[in-house]
Structure 1
């Protein structure tokens, strides 16, 4: 399952509804972000049972900023955030977002 988030309300509902989920911040103009997004898509397609979500930082800046401020996580793009019980338990950015890093974190 791969779903786009666009609002703070959607985000809040998501992290409250799912005990565990992955959220990826993606920049539409960055080649590094595109590479990370492709890794996320590959992972998401192989493991559809894991709730995965993404947002486009250019389109959803208020949401991106809200996540950074609320969870005291420096904003980066691309950025992968593993949430469990409405807390960030892991995050990675740039070239550290790979199929293997997502698999190792979410399928342990």
Structure 2
């Protein structure tokens, strides 16, 4: 699997309009906790559907997109944070050590 960098408002709009699931991982490149959560997520991401879009947001570079995510999906900004989006709605919001591929898979089941 591969990350798609989330860098524009247009990409975010496409995620909101997409049918089915997408996943957004918000990451701070300055935070060791965020690095550990990302590494743990990547170790398990093969459990996700192979065709599922995975978006990676560097929130240090793109804080405006992070703020838009919080507003559009009615979530509190955290870092690291994983959002599972289905048909334009956030169906799972996890942060820090709660980030779990298994939980995302169970929500999709």
Give the TM-score normalised by the residue count of structure 1. Answer: 0.85
Q: 1:46 offset after TM fit, Å?
A: 4.8
- Matching residue within 83, 89, 96 for 2:91: 89
Q: 1:40 offset after TM fit, Å?
A: 2.5
- Note the 1:25-36 alignment, pairs <5 A: 25-36=26-37
- Note the 1:1-108 alignment, pairs <5 A: 1=1, 2-47=3-48, 48-106=50-108, 108=109
Mapped partners of 1:31, 1:40: distance in 2? 14
Give the TM-score normalised by the residue count of structure 2. Answer: 0.85
Mapped partners of 1:58, 1:15: distance in 2? 22
Mapped partners of 1:41, 1:105: distance in 2? 18
For the 8 Å contact 1:15–1:85, the answer to whether it is kept is yes
Structure 2 regions of 5+ residues with no counterpart? none
Range 6-15 or range 71-80, more displaced: 6-15
Q: 1:71 offset after TM fit, Å?
A: 1.9
Q: 1:45 offset after TM fit, Å?
A: 4.3
For the 8 Å contact 2:83–2:93, the answer to whether it is kept is yes
Structure 1 regions of 5+ residues with no counterpart? none
